[in-house]
Amino acid sequence: MSETSIHKAIIAVMREVGAIGKDSQNVQQNYKFRSIEDVYNRVQPLFAKHGIFSYPKVIAQDRKEVKTAKGGTLHYSILTVEYTFAADDGSSIAVTVVGEGMDSGDKASNKAMAAAHKYAICQVLNIPYQVIDPDAFTPHGMVSGATRNQVTELKKAWVTVYRDMIDGMDRPQRREVFDQWLTQTIGDHDANMLDEADGYRYWKPEDLERCQKALPQNASV
């Protein structure tokens, strides 16, 4: 394997990139998230330094429209995108990710592409949100989170509200839509925890409350 191979170049970037935190604020929904701009600003100079570039190939697209509570139309786009990361010697690796975006105008697919690229970069480079202090870690079983019943009721209420949008989707697609809603509601996090057997224990009460408030008042939670 040559010194300029994509594998060595990516490892070199991993050694320098460090953590990228949730430093951007969604004012409307009141949560912090890791923005695509923060990722680009940190990673692009390192990619240039180590001779890496990336390019996308959209493999599949799914679009839906749903009426909002105020009578407007919300466009929802799910893109399956293959990103190729290449080095200047011609070597490359490819990763496939799913990006999702919602918009009332014509930017749903744009947002889905941005989300896909952000997660492709973050996952390839294993970028952490922060450097964890071991003394600040609370062992599993000592976290006071949501109850299993609260999580179950939240999911049922969400399905009721978004039934028209998810009708016809298979289970993995519904999972992706639900995870996207969670990310938009309480921030950029591992939304998949909710579908794990004991994942509800990791949820803070304020996160669950925010999800409940994000659903229409007539939804049963």
The CATH number that applies at residue 24 is 3.30.390.80
The count of structural domains within the chain is: 2
Q: Which of 90, 125, 160 is the last residue of a domain?
A: 125
92-103: strand order across its sheet: 52-67, 73-87, 92-103
In whole angstroms, what is the distance from residue 173 CA to residue 160 CA?
Answer: 16
CB 120 within 8 A of CB 83: yes
Domain containing 178 equals: 138-214
For residue 149, being part of any structural domain is answered with: yes
pLDDT digits (tens, 9 = 90+) for 171-181: 777 777 887 78
pLDDT digits (tens, 9 = 90+) for 131-164: 555 444 444 444 455 677 777 788 888 888 888 8
Same domain, 12 and 61: yes
pLDDT given at position 24: 77
**Regions of the chain short of the pLDDT cut 50:** 1-2, 134-143, 190-198, 218, 221
Same domain, 113 and 175: no
Full DSSP string of 125-138: HT--SSPPPGGGPP
Same domain, 110 and 143: no
Same domain, 73 and 109: yes
pLDDT given at position 1: 41
List, in order, residues 6 or more apart from 202 with CB less than 8 Å away. 143, 145, 193
Q: What one-character DSSP code corresponds to residue 167?
A: T
Same domain, 62 and 96: yes
**What letter represents residue 65's amino acid?**
E
Same domain, 56 and 10: yes
Q: How many residues does the chain have?
A: 221
Same domain, 104 and 145: no
List, in order, residues 6 or more apart from 188 with CB less than 8 Å away. 22, 32, 33, 34
pLDDT given at position 77: 92
pLDDT given at position 165: 81
